[in-house]
Every structure is written in C-alpha cells, then in structure tokens.
Amino acid sequence: MKNKIKRFAKGDFHIPQPEIIFPETHIIMRVGEGEKYQGSFSLQNEGEGTIRGLVYPSSYRIQCVEQGFDGNPVNIYYTYDGRGLVPGHVEHGKFTIVCNGGEYDIAFTAIIEKPFVMTRYGKIQSLEDFKKLSYRDAAEAVKLFRSRDFYEILKYEDQRIQALYDNMRKWELDQHALEEFLVGCKQKEKIFLTLEEESRAFISLIEDRKETFTVKKNTWGFLEVDVRAEGDFLSVEHTHLTTEEFIGNSYRLEYFITMDKLHKGSNFGQIILETPYETLNYEVVVEKDISRDEEYRENDREFAGILKSFLQYEGGRVDLDTWTEDALRRISRLRERDGNNEFYLLAHAHICLLGQRMEEAKWLLESYNYNRFAIGKDVELSSYYLYLTTLLSNDSIGQRRVAEELSRSFMKHPSSWKILCMLVEVDSEYKIYSERLRVLEKQFEDYRSHSIWFYLQAFRCYREKSSSLKKLGTFEVQVLAFAVKYKLMTKELALYTANLASQMKYFDAHLYEVLVRCYEMYGESMILTSICTLLIKGSCTEQKYFKWYEKAVESELKIAQLYEYYMASAEPAQFHKQLPRSVYLYFMHGNSLDYHKCAFLYANLITYEDEGSEIYAHYRDEMEVFAWNQLERRNIDEDLRIIYKRFLVEDEMKQERIKALYDICHAYWITTKVPNMKFIHVIADDGTVTQKVPYTEKGARVFLYSKTDRLVWEAKDGRHYTDSIPYDSKRLFYELRYMDMCRKYLGGLLRGRQNAEEEELTLEVVKEKGLENYPEDEIFTLCSKTIRESNYENDDFLTYVCYDLFQKNQYDKVILTYLANYFCGATMEMKNLWKVARDYEVHTHKLAERILTQMLFSEELFQEAQVFEAYYEEGAYFRLEQAYLAYISREYVVEERKIGKNVIDVICQEYEKGEPTIDICKIAVLKYYSTREYGTQIRKTLKKFLQELCGKQIYFPFFLSYEKEWLVELQLWDKTLIEYKGQKGSRVMLYYQLQKGSREAADYSTEVLSPMYENLYVKKFVLFANERLKYYFKETIDGNSYRSEKEMCMREIEKGEPGRYGRLNDILLEEDKEEQEKKMRSYALEDAVANHMFIQY
C-alpha cells in the first residue's frame, strides 16, 4: 500500500489494476451450536498480476487467518466462533475487501444450527424427532436414549426436560424409563389397557379347554404387564408380557381350564392383569354337576329357626309355651317333607320333653327303632335317643347306664361335640361346673367345636355360677361372645366379665367386642371403664375407639392416660365442637401429646374459648412458644393453620422464621390411588432433587416453590414414574398477608444475594456470552468506561463493539475519539464515522489519513474532497498529499472527473512553497483555469506551468485558451492542436488531409501518434490562411479497430500576426499583387538574414 502511494506521489500511474472476480458472492455458514466454523472464499485477477489488499469482516466472531493478502488467486481463510449463540440465531454481515483492484463487499449469513445425532433414520435434532424415532424403531430409540449423545438433542429443550433426563440417568435407562420420559415430556400419553369383555361363563365343559380374550391398548409405547390366575382350575401360559407382543393395539391372551381341578357346583376364578398404573380383572365362572336342592336348604333354615327361637326362650325373651308351639309347628313341617329322617323324629321328641309334653314325647320315642347292636348304626342318633330317654324318666339307674353308654360312645368318637354335650348333662361326674367346663374347653381346643348347643352348655355354667369364669382365654371369650350375640348375657356375668377384663395385661379384640355388647345391654360405668382400660392397654388410638374415650371423659371416669388416648383417637377434621372443659384443665400443666394432637388442643381452645378466660390466659404463652417452634420445624396442618394465624406476627419475624414461613406457604399434601408407591422426588428446574419424601397410605407432604417443580414417583420395586401417576394435591397453608411478608423479606435477601453473586461485566464476559445478550445502555457504559481506564489503548474487540454502538447511534465523544484513532473498515463506514466525529469536534486526522490511503490504494475515490481538505489543514503527510493531488489531477485530466477549486489551490500553494509538483498536477491546474478567471498570483504560476510543460513538449488544446503573449512566447499562438482520448494500451493512428484553397483534396496522410499523457493523444499542426484540416483517428486494441468520426478544422487568421507563419499568412491574405510581391521580398530578406545570423546545429 505504501509503495503504491509512493508511486502515485511521483506521478507513476502505470500500475496495472487487477480485474477482480469472485467465484462466490454470498457465503452461507451453517455453524453447529457452540462450535467454531472454518471456511474460506477466493478472489482472482482475470488478467495478469497479483492482488494485494486487506479484508475487514463486519463481525467480531470472524477471525481471518491473515488480514492482508498478496497473490493470484487469493484464498482467504476465516473462522466463525459460534460459541455463546443459540440455535436459530442468524447473523448477516459482510467481508469488506480493500485491494489494489478496488473495494468490494462479500455478504455472509451465519446460521447457528441445532445440535443433532445421526441415526440410520436421519438427523435427530429435537424431542419431536426423537418421538418419531421411538414410534418407528424402539430399539434404536433406547440405544440413543442410553447414549450421552442424547444431551445434544435436549440442549435447547425446556430446562425441566433436561433436569428430568439428568436424574433418569441416575435411576434407569431401559425401555420403561424411556416410556416414562416421553410421558413426562408430554410427547405421548400414558398407555392404559382395556378388556373387550370382563367375564366369561362355562356351563357344560367335558374336557380341558384353552380360551382367549382380547386386551387392547390405547396408544403406542412400551408397557410391562404381569398376568396371574386365581383359582386352581385356571392357568395362563405367559405370566409376563409387554406391549411389544401386541399386534397393532390388540393382544389375544390365552388361558387354560383344567377339568380335574374343578369341584362340583360353581367354580369362580379370575385372571388378573397388573400394570404399574392399573389392575384389570377378567372373571371366569365354570359350573360342574350343578344340583340345586332348594328343599334341602329350606329344611336347614327351618331347623335353624327352631334353635334361634329356643335361644330367645333361654334368654327370657319368649315364654316356654310360645316357643314350644312354634317349634312343634316347624318340626312338623320338616317331618312332613322328610318322613324318613330319624333325626327330625328325635328332635320332635326333644321339643316335647322341653315343653313338658311327656306323653307325646314318650309316644315319639317308642316309635323310634333303637337297636344298640345294629350294624352301621348312626352313633350320634343312637346317643341322642338314649339321652332323650333320661329326660323322660327319673330312673337314676337308667340314667347311669345311659351315661356309661354315652361315655363309651364318646371315647370311640372324641370329636363328636354332640355326644359330649349329651354326656355332660347325663353323667353325674360333670355336674360340677369346673369339670364340665374343663372337658368342654378341651373339646374346643382339640377340635374347634363352634356349635350353638356346644357354646350353650358352657354358657349355662357361667350363668349359673359367675365365679366359674376364672379367666378370659380364647374359649371363655368365644362362649361370652356367643352369649352377647344372642343376648343371653346376664348383668351379673357382664359385670364379672368387665372386672376380669380390667385385669387383662393385653388387648383382645374379641373380648373388646364382648364388652361393647355388654355395655350396649346394660350401660354400666364399670363396663365402660373396662372397655377404656382394655383399649389403653392395647394402645388403641384409632378414630373408631374415640367414642368410648369420649363417653369415659364425659362420665369423668378416673382412668390412667384416659385424656391422652382421648386426644390421640380424636379426629380433628371430624371434631366440630368444643373440647370438654376437663380436657383443658387436665393438660393445663403440660402434656406429652404429639404436635398434631397438641395443635388440635390449642386450635380448639383458640376457636371456642374466650380470650379473656383464665384457661386461655394460662395457655397463651405456651401456645405462642408452640407456634414458633412448629413453624421452625416446618409443620403444618389445619389446626396449626389456626394457631399460626393467631400468633405469627411480623414484629417477631426473624430471617430463619421467614424462611420457615415461606416453606409452609408452599406446602402441599400429595395423594394417589396407585398402589406400591414408596417415595416422592421433587425435582427443581436445574435438575436438583430438592426433596425425597417417604410416601404413606395417607399421603405425603412436599414443598413446591415453583410451578415448574416436577414430581417423580419411586415405587417399591425401585422404578421411577413421571406424569403417568395421577395424584391429587392440596395446598396446606396460603395466606396473602404471610405471602406478602415473605416476599418483602426474601425479596431483599434475594436481591442482596444476586448483587453479591452478580458477575462483573467486562469485555471478556461480553465476548464469551455474546454481545446480543446485553442491553445497549450497559454495553455503552462499559465501552466508555473501558476506553478511559485503558487510556485509549487499542483492542480489536472493543473497536468492534464501539462501532456496533455507533451504528445504533449509541456513542459519546470518548467512543468517537477511540474509533477515530483505531477503526478500519469499509471506506463508506469510515467516512460516515468521520462526518459524525467532525460534528463532535473530535480530532479526525488519523481517520482521514486512513480513509485517503485506503481510497487511493483501491483507486476508488468518491466524495473525499472534504476529508482531504480537513486533513490538509491539520498537516498532511507529504507523500500521501502528493499521491492524492496526483491521482485526483489525473482523474480530472484523463477521466474528466470533477475537481474542486480547493484542490487546485492546494496544488498551487504547494508549488509556491517550493514543493516539487509533478506534470499531471500542473496540467490539471492549467485545464482548470483555462475556462476560469484567475488572479495575479495564480497568473504567475500558470505561466510557469505553461513554460515548464511546453519545454517538455507537453501541450494540450486548452493551452491555447491562455494569453496571446504567453502563446507567442511559447510558439503556440499560430499552432492548431487536435486531441484524441483512446483506451489504455491501444495503438492510435491519425488520418488527415490538408485542403488548400479551392484545390482538390489530396489523399489522406497517416501518422502513428504517441500519447501526450497516458491515453491522451495530441497533434500539432500549422494551418495557413487558406488551409483546412480534415482528419479522423483509428484506434486498434486487442485486434479490434475503431474509427472516430471525421472532423474539419481551420484556423481563423488575422492580418499582422507576428512570427514566420504570421508573415506567410499576410502574404496569402494580401489581394494586391504588388503589395504581395513586396511582402514576399521582405520575408525572403528576413529569412536570409536569420539564416545568416543564427546557425542551426
């Protein structure tokens, strides 16, 4: 560049200017996110010679390997830094090429592409693409899902999705995890199954059978299904299946029915399909050898009616005659239906005996065919007959024999409770209640006898003698349960039982039921005390027991720990009244209740007790301390809500308490109907598992601070589930005044933390994160500050940022000064900067010098006069000044470019200072003033220029416009000058003819012209008064010829002109012959004298 300026300054313009071509005029860069893109473009000279110059990219993200270049062709290599830009970002810019062939712009577009993973199905760039891949090829999708390349797909998805995947990588990455991930990302709906039919019945099967039923799914995806059969006769071939085995959306599930495992009657079974989300039941009913004997069942019901009505008689609710009449009617109907049934005959006799109808009983017994030696006889029937005979007769010997017979029968058949019941009534050995109870208890323990008649035998002992109830074991409790069920229990026995129960060391649910029924029958406080004591020993705090504690409290019974269990079993949500005053008084001096029940106590007191009462005053401080304590522990329920609203005031708030209040304001109770859930994970936006809460049957409490917090469920088998688990949530505490309190305190805390953590804004930070991510005012302040602090040191990135601000009209004097010192770019950009900087009175000398240098180097000057004038006034670099004046003069002379007077004046001033002035500048000055007026000082300069140029045989037609005196002196006054402007490198020939007077025109003469200056050709002729010049030019270049139009030229001559040619013209113009001869002699004399006086060497 300096060399070219130097040559221009010397007037050497014979520098070939390359003809630049660009194979590519618009560059498209597709840049991967976070990557650096490397590329190149080229330019070449169509002609010969090298291309030299500089390249200026418009973006700071582009770094050229070399800013300067020299060669032909030229390859410019560059790097685009896409780090910090997000996919979808598009930047439009340009490369400005300033070279010896001109100034050019190459546009570029940089597009930041989403990262992608290549599969055999093409690019996967988004979750939408991944969903399509999962639908098309699940195995390929799982493979990608397990790969860390999957992060590339998620990079620009929602942060919650990235967080979910981060955690799923820690848990599992199988097909189930993929399914849950897609459901959690709302890319597909959860799979659920349906059955086309829910049951099937088979009536007449004769062999084993295989059957099927259809299971349908609602959508694509992966789901595991466990299949099992309930019912011995049912089985399935596959106990585990997945939706991959479905054909379309259906699956035919096979099951088998095995005949050998069917019992007579109706066989019920079901096939159960279990998924993580639901359980489906398919019922199967198989009937085999159905026999519907309704008459048999009717007989059983009829006989049962006899027994039940007897128990009513036993309990004193029916008199003997009434029962006897009813029982006889029933037994008569039974015998009519089944006349051969001997049991009904003996039962008929038994009823008569109990009803004191001895004759009828005797007649019935006599009709019974008894044979003690009969083969295959029914022992129990025979024993029954013998037992009845003892009731009919008071013969002690006969009774003893019957007892012996029954005893032998019982020894042979010890499992028969019927024989035993008859034996204990007949045998005198069992008249003692303790002995009778012993043998009955043994029978119960050995054979688990549960007959009504069996229990009645034992109960009669307790009823007759309460003291025979020594303990409350399983047998005794069962007997008592029988008694209360049929309302046989006496008050005395009930109280005795209650007394024994109060001495129990453990809780017995059956005994509890006995006491409850006893209380329902007699309502004695002793029984109530026994019930509560038993419950307390069993630590029974379920809500169903509350009514007993409540009755005891209302009855003011003195039972240890009664009030604690009263509170423990109370259900606050169902308790909508004031607690008994005795409860308030009991807990007045301290309590050991858990915080739920303690809160219940305090909340009830706040709700129902007057604040002015002594009880309230006593509790007040205790409740306030409790409120702050529970707040700090983050506990919350409906009762605590009441307490908090009463005692939490802003004046007492501290930072830790505010944080706790903020937490409970975001507490939720989560419940789901899906079984087997073990934990709830709460995942924040950044992927952190902020909470892992155990899940119970009642639910779990979690803190949700943002709508974007995600719940992930962990099942007992360790699997994790996202949005596929439906759940209900209930906010536990939300009060606007407390939320405002939290926002005020935490807002200030958050701002302080943000200020502390806020990263200092520097140019390095801006460069790393991207200029487009910061507001203009912040960048403006940063640049202005950085320039001042660095004392205007040059920095490429700072220069780019400052010019970017300048383009957005964001600048001050500091930024303009910095740019004026260092900015280099397209000429138009620098000129715009120069204009604004001048308006701000910023020193622009360096900027102007760069503009002029670049324009001269690229030989593209436009609207630069003001720049040069200002530059010249501030003291120009002489070489650049000379180069500019020379180039602009040449453009004016050769290319007819307009030139300003100021530039002409500068040339003259420099000449007058004695500075060397090249010919082209002189020619330009002479051309400029050839059509303008000039002053005395300029007149001298112009004359000198003419003299110097003519001395070098340099002349142009416009020289003839100057003063006659000068032209005569320079021997130009009597000359005719013709000019032709050709093309560079062409050959120009002049064709002319001189026509003298009226003579016929001679042939054209030819002459090869040499350029007067570059491509300007000038020919000097002497035309006499009677001569006319007719001419044209012929130009040849690259084998092509061009001819100009013919032109005519003649000189207007006046008589008396000085010089040789003036004398000759006077002779020619003289019309008088004598006078003409006289002038000819005078000319000849003067010519001879001149030849004699002046010798020509």
d(CA 921, CA 312): 146
Q: Please check whether residue 40 is in contact with residue 55, taking contact to mean a CB–CB distance below 8 angstroms.
A: no
Q: What DSSP state is assigned to residue 317?
A: S
Q: 756 falls in which pLDDT band (50, 70, 90)?
A: very low
Nearest to 692 by CA among 682, 684, 701, 678: 682
Sheet holding 51-57, edge to edge: 26-32, 102-113, 90-99, 51-57, 68-71
Gap between the Cα atoms of 899 and 902, Å rounded: 8
- The model's confidence at residue 165, banded by pLDDT at 50, 70 and 90, is confident
Report the alpha-carbon distance of residue 35 to residue 112 in Å, rounded. Answer: 9
CA 458 to chain centre: 75
pLDDT band at 758 (very low <50, low <70, confident <90, very high): low
Which is higher by pLDDT, 79 or 290? 79
pLDDT exceeds 80 at position 1002: no
Amino acid at 217: K
At 228 the pLDDT is: 93
pLDDT at 980: 92
CA distance 205 to 447: 38
Residue 1090: which H helix or E strand, with range? Answer: helix 1073-1093
Compute the distance between CA of residue 773 and CA of residue 585 in angstroms, rounded to an integer: 67
Q: Which two tokens stand for residue 208?
A: 């084993």
Counting Cα atoms < 13 Å in the Cβ hemisphere of 669 gives 13
CATH topology of domain 18-113: Immunoglobulin-like (2.60.40)
Q: How far apart are the first and last CA of the chain?
A: 48
Helices vs strands, H then E, count in the chain: 41, 35
Q: How far is it, in rounded angstroms, from Cα 183 to Cα 176?
A: 11
Q: At what angle do helices 813-822 and 827-839 cross, to 10 degrees?
A: 140
Residue 201 bridge partners (DSSP): 285
Average pLDDT over residues 824-830: 90
Length of the chain, in residues: 1097
Q: Which ranges constitute the DSSP H helices of 250-293?
A: none
HSE, side-chain direction, 13 A CA sphere, residue 75: 4
* Distance from C-alpha of 303 to C-alpha of 159, rounded to nearest angstrom: 76
Mean pLDDT of the 871-892 span: 88
% of the chain at pLDDT higher than 90: 38
Average pLDDT over residues 944-965: 90
Q: How far apart are CA 799 and CA 822, in angstroms?
A: 7
Q: Is 757 exposed, middle or buried (0-12, 13-18, 19+ CB in 10 A)?
A: exposed
Tell me if residue 665 falls in helix, strand or coil. coil
b/e map 811-832, b = 16+ CB within 10 Å: beebbbbbbbbbbbbbbebbbe
Tell me the residue ranges of DSSP E strands in 689-777.
689-694, 700-703, 710-715, 720-721, 728-731
pLDDT, mean of residues 768-793: 87
The tens digit of pLDDT for each residue in 675-698 reads: 889 999 999 888 889 999 999 988
Instruction: Report whether 150 contacts 117 (CB < 8 A).
Output: yes
- Structurally, at CATH architecture level, domain 974-1052 sits in Sandwich (2.60)
Top-confidence residue, 1019 or 297: 1019
Q: In sequence order, what are the beta bridge partners of 42?
A: 75
Residue 173: exposure state from Cβ atoms within 10 A (0-12, 13-18, ≥19)? middle
Mean pLDDT, residues 409-414: 89
The pLDDT, as a whole number, for residue 27 is 93
Q: Which residue has the tokens 């994970």?
A: 681
User: What average pLDDT score do residues 360-379 get?
Assistant: 75
- 8 Å CB contact between 423 and 432: no
Contact, 1084 vs 1092, CB < 8 A? no
Give the single-character DSSP code of 578.
Answer: P
Nearest to 842 by CA among 875, 873, 818: 818
Question: Is the sign of the CA dihedral 801, 802, 807, 812 positive or negative?
Answer: positive
How far, in whole angstroms, is CA 614 from its chain's centroid? Answer: 58
Per-residue pLDDT at 39: 94
Note the pLDDT of residue 1027: 77
DSSP sequence for 760-805: PP-HHHHHHH-GGGS-HHHHHHHHHHHHHHTTT---HHHHHHHHHH
Choose among 672, 678, 667, 684: nearest CA to 715. 678
The answer on pLDDT for 1045 being more than 80 is yes
Q: Which of 215-224, 292-301, 1057-1066 has the highest mean pLDDT?
A: 215-224
Tokens representing 317 are 């609710």
| Nearest partner of 497 among 532, 530, 461, 542, judged by Cα | 530
Q: CA–CA separation, 877 vs 293, rounded Å?
A: 131
In terms of Cα–Cα distance, which of 589, 586, 600 is closest to 541?
A: 600
Q: How far apart are CA 1041 and CA 855, in angstroms?
A: 34
Q: Which of 63-72, 320-329, 963-972 has the lowest mean pLDDT?
A: 963-972
> What CATH number matches the domain at 193-288, 3.40.50.850, 3.30.390.30, 3.20.20.370, 2.60.40.2310?
2.60.40.2310
Q: Do 18-113 and 193-288 share a fold?
A: yes
* Mean pLDDT computed over every residue of the chain: 87
User: 518 pLDDT band (50/70/90 cuts)?
Assistant: very high
pLDDT greater than 90 at residue 1034: yes
Number of neighbours of residue 8 by Cβ within 10 angstroms: 24
CA–CA gap between residue 521 and residue 501 (Å, rounded): 17
Q: Distances from the Cα of 924 to the Cαs of 859, 887, 938, in angstroms?
A: 18, 11, 14
Taking the C-alpha atoms of residue 148 and residue 127, their distance in angstroms, rounded to an integer, is: 15
| Section 735-739 average pLDDT | 85
Q: What is the domain partition of the chain in residue ranges?
A: 1-11+848-953, 18-113, 117-184, 193-288, 974-1052, 1056-1097
Whether residue 73 is preceded by a cis peptide bond, meaning omega within 30 degrees of 0, is yes
- pLDDT number for residue 406: 87
Give per-residue burial for 936-973: e unless 16+ CB within 10 Å, then b.
eebeebbbebbeebbeeebbbebbeebeeebbeebebb
pLDDT at site 567: 92
- Dump pLDDT digits (tens) for 462-478: 999 888 998 999 999 99
Across the strands, what pairs with 978?
1019
User: Residue 366 — very low, low, confident or very high, per pLDDT cuts 50/70/90?
Assistant: confident
Segment 876-890 shows an average pLDDT of 88
CA atoms 669, 670, 672, 675: torsion sign: negative
Give the pLDDT confidence of 896-914 residue by residue, as tens digits.
888 888 888 998 988 988 8
